[in-house]
Amino acid sequence: MAKSPQQELEEFLASLPASVQKSLMCEPMTALEVLESAQSDCKEFELRPRLERILWKLPAQWASYCQRATQQRKMMVEMFNLKPPKRPHGPPRKDELAHKAALLQRSGMNPHQIAAELNKGLGEDDKTTADAIRKLLKRHSQPDKT
């Protein structure tokens, strides 16, 4: 006789230590339970797919499990500061280009000559103009506002 999903779940969980059961089910745990679960011989990464296959057959329990897992994931991200760094706004800085332009300006070149010289080393899409060089030199000659 085939087991019901509920029976299958109960038998699966009964074979595991209580701390591992709570961890797999994404239930709140005490510090001692977390330690016990971590020191257990059970490999949660191997057990979780089987648990999820069983829970999938039980819609109400699956929904509850998904909600707890999402909350747990959010808590872990906040606890361990796992958020990816924010990308700076705006286009990438042109510090290297400004440094080269400043060196060329100090050697006596004007913005038209600097643009022509820098364009030799730039790709077709990255060409610059004398006006852009003027603005770049002006911006980079001012102290940083940070």
Residues 74 and 114 both lie in one domain: no
Q: Which range marks the domain in which residue 42 is found?
A: 5-79
Residues 69 and 133 both lie in one domain: no
The span from the CA of 39 to the CA of 93, in Å, is: 49
Residues 73 and 109 both lie in one domain: no
Residues 23 and 69 both lie in one domain: yes
Residues 36, 17: contact at Cβ < 8 Å? yes
Please give the structure tokens belonging to residue 25: 């089910």
Residues 67 and 116 both lie in one domain: no
Q: Which of 90, 95, 74, 81 is nearest to 140 (CA)?
A: 95
Residues 136 and 99 both lie in one domain: yes
User: Based on the structure, what is the number of domains in the chain?
Assistant: 2
Length of the chain in terms of residues written:
146
The span from the CA of 32 to the CA of 37, in Å, is: 9
Residues 33, 43: contact at Cβ < 8 Å? no
The one-digit pLDDT tens for each residue of the chain (146 residues) are 788 999 999 999 999 999 999 999 999 999 999 899 889 998 888 999 999 999 999 999 999 999 999 998 888 888 777 777 777 778 777 888 889 999 999 999 999 999 999 998 877 778 889 999 999 888 877 665 55
pLDDT at 91: 78
Residues 88, 48: contact at Cβ < 8 Å? no
What distances in angstroms separate CA 28 from CA 9, 21, 72, 125, 130, one per listed residue? 19, 11, 9, 55, 63
Q: What is the pTM of this model?
A: 0.53
